[in-house]
């Protein structure tokens, strides 16, 4: 029996040593090559051998059973190895071939905003399989660290062949700079690092009601404001006001700082005398997205946000303001660009000053909702702080779950974990998720808990308990 115990101990130590070597080698191979190596047939046999040696050690080595801390370390290691085996590609392949279990071990999922998908791919883009449910991306957002630097100045203008073009301006207070894509020039007169907007007396966001091309009412855009109309007959009521509207999970929310949200908007209700009601959103800007701002035939709504007449220093705002002077052919334009609470880029439309573009269709550009030319004040972009994906699970034709997934905070549903992996911001905004089966996961979690408890007992609790015992033996 002593020889058996010695063989088990030596074989177990050798296996652990080999595991260390394999781990070091895998670290230099990269994620995909290391995964292929650890799931290869020789390594599958090694994992089974290691698990068997750990079980044999518990049976054959008496001190392991008599020491709770040693037993916890040993059992924890065994549970981690078993959990890794259960979650491996080999076990999933075996379950599919022998038992007909159609579960995927892992893969990548690429979904664009507003899209729904269920296909998984490997790292080379090959189709792995499909999930038994669908996953949709309601919204995607990348957050950046703020830099303690002045905001940047640039131009967003129409380009040839229905494109947009952007260029940054190297500005300094008091210096003239060329205005890209135009014959004009611009000078920054003042830059306030922390400021708030100043408006003319009585100025503020307003909701304008237009019937048959005529403005029949204009009221402050404040929640609870109502307007009685005669044609069409009914009552118009402002329900909510949004600094930067975004729709998440079918709900309208304010999303300060989200670069791809809808911008300032109001939610309004039109109630007819017979009790019928219509609810819609009206966005700020010279044009409305299709289907918005029309709650009844002949009724048009406009959300008008006034430009500030100036700015003043405000240490509490943390947002800048810039006064600019533009000059072209003897004409001059002086204006303010003041950042709002949403921290979004601030734009000044220049078409009236520069003249309309010679040609080019109208469409939504990077800043405006038409084909105009804009002077843009935008924040400096630091390193990526975090990316978030608002995921919605559709199972059986219904919404079964939803969650905002971010780094180290995955969505768990249907036996899979969905981890935020990366994103693709070229053209359509898409998130890249890593999908992993949860087989063996709880075994791994339990194993790490036992390992930590065992190490704690060996390194701290055991020595302290022995010291207290010696003190009691001495009568201390």
Task: Quote the pTM value.
Answer: 0.63
Intervals of the chain under pLDDT 70: 1, 31-32, 64-65, 247-251, 254-262, 285-294, 341-343, 356-371, 425-428, 462, 464-465, 468-469, 473-476
In the predicted model, what is the mean pLDDT of the chain?
82
pLDDT at 333: 94
Burial class (CB in 10 A: 0-12, 13-18, 19+), 321: buried
For the chain, how are helix, strand and coil distributed in percent, rounded to 5? Answer: 25, 40, 30
The pLDDT value recorded for residue 261 is: 59
Q: Of 289, 280, 284, 290, which Cα lies nearest the Cα of 302?
A: 284
Structure tokens at 390: 């608002």
pLDDT of residue 358: 47
Q: What is the pLDDT of residue 363?
A: 34
184-220 in b/e form (b: 16+ CB < 10 A) is bebbbeebbeebbbeeeeeeebbbbbbbeeeeeeeee
Predicted local confidence at residue 171, as pLDDT: 96
Which run of H or of E encompasses 317? none
């Amino acid at each position: 029996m002593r020889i058996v115990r010695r063989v088990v101990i030596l074989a177990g130590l050798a296996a652990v040593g080999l595991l260390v070597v394999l781990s070091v080698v895998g670290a230099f191979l990269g994620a995909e090559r290391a995964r292929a190596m650890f799931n290869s047939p020789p390594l599958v046999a090694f994992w089974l051998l290691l698990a068997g040696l750990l079980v044999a050690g518990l049976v054959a080595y008496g001190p392991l059973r008599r020491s709770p801390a040693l037993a916890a370390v040993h059992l924890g290691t065994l549970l981690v190895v078993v959990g890794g085996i259960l979650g491996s590609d080999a076990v999933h392949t075996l379950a599919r071939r022998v038992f007909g279990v159609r579960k995927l071990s892992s893969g990548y999922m690429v979904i664009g905003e507003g899209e729904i998908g269920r296909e998984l791919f490997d790292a080379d883009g090959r189709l792995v399989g499909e999930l038994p449910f669908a996953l949709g991306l309601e919204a995607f957002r990348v957050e950046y660290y703020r830099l303690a630097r002045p905001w940047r100045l640039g131009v967003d203008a129409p380009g040839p062949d229905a494109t947009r073009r952007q260029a940054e301006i190297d500005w300094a207070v008091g210096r003239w700079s060329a205005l890209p894509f135009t014959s004009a020039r611009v000078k920054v007169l003042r830059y306030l690092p922390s400021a708030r907007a100043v408006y003319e007396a009585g100025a503020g966001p307003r909701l304008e009601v237009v019937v048959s091309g005529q403005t029949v009412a204009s009221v402050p855009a404040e929640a609870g404001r109502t307007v009685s109309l005669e044609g069409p007959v009914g009552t118009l009521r402002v329900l909510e006001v949004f600094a930067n509207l975004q729709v998440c999970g079918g709900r309208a929310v304010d999303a300060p700082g989200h670069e791809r949200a809808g911008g300032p908007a109001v939610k309004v209700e039109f109630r007819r005398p017979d009790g019928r009601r219509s609810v819609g959103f009206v966005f700020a800007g010279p044009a409305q997205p299709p289907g918005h701002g029309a709650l009844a035939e002949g009724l048009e709504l406009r959300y008008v946000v006034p430009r500030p007449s100036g700015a003043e220093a405000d240490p509490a705002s943390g947002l800048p303001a810039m006064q600019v002077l533009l000059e072209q052919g003897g004409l001059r334009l002086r204006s303010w660009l003041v950042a709002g609470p949403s921290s979004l880029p601030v734009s000044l439309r220049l078409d009236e000053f520069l003249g309309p573009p010679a040609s080019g269709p109208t469409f939504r550009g990077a800043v405006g909702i038409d084909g105009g030319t804009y002077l843009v004040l935008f924040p400096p972009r630091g390193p990526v702080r975090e990316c978030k994906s608002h995921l919605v699970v559709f199972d059986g034709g219904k919404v079964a779950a939803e969650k905002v997934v971010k780094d180290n905070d995955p969505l768990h549903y249907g036996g899979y974990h969905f981890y935020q992996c990366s994103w693709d911001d070229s053209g359509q905004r898409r998130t890249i998720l890593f999908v992993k089966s949860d087989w063996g996961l709880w075994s791994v979690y339990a194993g790490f808990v036992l390992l930590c408890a065992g190490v704690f007992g060996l390194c701290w609790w055991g020595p302290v308990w022995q010291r207290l015992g010696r003190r009691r033996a001495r009568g201390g």
